[in-house]
Amino acid sequence: MTTPASRRTLLLGAAGAGLALPRIAGAQQYRPEYKMTVVGNRPIPFAEGAFIWADLVTQRSGGRINVKVYPGSQLVGGDQTRELVAMRQGVIDFAVFSTINIAPQVREVGLFQLPFLMPDHKAFDALIRGEVGRDIFAVMERREVVPLAWGENGFREISNSKHAIRTPADMRGLKIRFAAGAIFTEIFQAMGANPVQMSFADLQPALSTGAVDGQENPINLFLAFRMDTLAQKHLTIWNYVNDPLIFGLSRNVWNSFNDADKQLVRDCAEEAGRQQIALTRRGLGLDGGDDAAIQDLRTRGVEVTALTVPQKAEFARVTRPVYDKWAQTVGADLVRKAEAAIRAATA
């Protein structure tokens, strides 16, 4: 029979021998909550990816890793361009980053903003699933971020309240809102448009009052926010850039997890990324499939113009000086590698 005193002696002896207690101590290092940031909120697929990841991690860890999503970039006061900096400062633990928003701090992800680099989803997939994607993840790791999976915000199509856009000349004089990034100013100026940078929160009132004529965003976001009710009656599918998403977390948080939990978090990120990409592409009529999103646009009275390959080539020609200039910023070797991957995937 052991007394309370003898049980305490046994427990202390086990601790001194390095038995059992290290596991308890390791568990005590986990926080009550891990904060995840994402731009926007449900129901857009961008935000859904974050909620899916958080839910998977929380559920599969039995609540040991409790991840809470803070949508609308609220952890950085709504300024989505500060998310990466805030993660490095320890304010944010997990994130689903837009590559557009982190490009000012990570020049290599500016690859995806080179105008008309990626003609279609095959080209996009060749980059994120190949050597280019791995190279960019290696760059992210040098920023104290552990990238685990890719997602997709979608090809950014252009809409406006004035007329259909079929040629670069149709862009002249249009006031077009863009989210962030000096390259977008130069892209739209090259086409004769008047680019206006503003947050998404300011976009809707700007469209409704006519302060800007148009905007560029994925179709799923156009539909979710009913931009057809904001005078956006003309939409052109031109696939000028795509915005990959990166599912990642801070290195300090990653290092605090044991190996099994690291694998759990990675597996959940990869699954969330796959689901998020599927949501983004749903209804776009890819490969002759379901085109419900396109039909929804037309039902709402939106004139949908899908550019032909020669028409896209004309836009690419006009914006080529911007492409060449920013390719040097991104890194000539990385751009050449991306171009080769795209040629192989689309041949």
Query: Domain boundaries in the chain?
Result: 26-106+115-153+244-281, 157-241+286-346
Assign residue 126 a region: left if phi > 0, alpha if psi is -120 to 50, beta otherwise? alpha
Please determine, for residue 337, whether its predicted confidence score (pLDDT) is greater than 60: yes
The pLDDT value given to residue 79: 87
pLDDT band at 180 (very low <50, low <70, confident <90, very high): confident
% of the chain with per-residue pLDDT over 90: 87
Please determine, for residue 1, whether its predicted confidence score (pLDDT) is greater than 80: no
Q: What is the mean pLDDT of residues 76-92?
A: 93
Q: What is the mean pLDDT of residues 264-289?
A: 97
Do the beta carbons of residue 193 and residue 172 sit within 8 Å? yes
Strands 242-250 and 194-197: unpaired
Q: What is the mean pLDDT of residues 159-182?
A: 96
Nearest to 162 by CA among 215, 223, 209, 213: 213
Integer angstrom CA distances of residue 284 from 8, 107, 159, 234, 294: 66, 30, 16, 17, 6
Q: Which residues neighbour 177 within 8 Å (Cβ) at sequence distance 6 or greater? A: 195, 196, 197, 198, 203, 206, 207, 212, 214, 215, 216
Q: What is the CATH number of domain 26-106+115-153+244-281?
A: 3.40.190.170
pLDDT band at 201 (very low <50, low <70, confident <90, very high): confident
Task: Report, at the CATH architecture level, how domain 157-241+286-346 is classified.
Answer: 3-Layer(aba) Sandwich (3.40)
What single letter denotes the amino acid at residue 119? P
The pLDDT value given to residue 15: 38
The pLDDT value given to residue 4: 42
Do the beta carbons of residue 234 and residue 164 sit within 8 Å? yes
pTM across the whole model:
0.90
Integer angstrom CA distances of residue 312 from 79, 171, 296, 319: 32, 14, 24, 11
Please determine, for residue 290, whether its predicted confidence score (pLDDT) is greater than 70: yes
Cα separation, 347 vs 344, in Å, equals 6
Nearest to 152 by CA among 203, 97, 95, 76: 97
| Chain CA centroid to CA 295, Å | 25
Please determine, for residue 199, whether its predicted confidence score (pLDDT) is greater than 70: yes
157-241+286-346 shares the fold of 26-106+115-153+244-281: yes
Taking only the tens place, the pLDDT of each residue in 14-60 is: 333 333 333 433 444 799 999 999 998 999 999 999 999 999 999 99
Residues 136, 137, 140, 142: is their CA dihedral positive or negative? negative
The pLDDT value given to residue 60: 98
Please determine, for residue 13, whether its predicted confidence score (pLDDT) is greater than 70: no
* Mean pLDDT, all residues of the chain: 92
Could you identify the residue written with the tokens 């002896």? 13
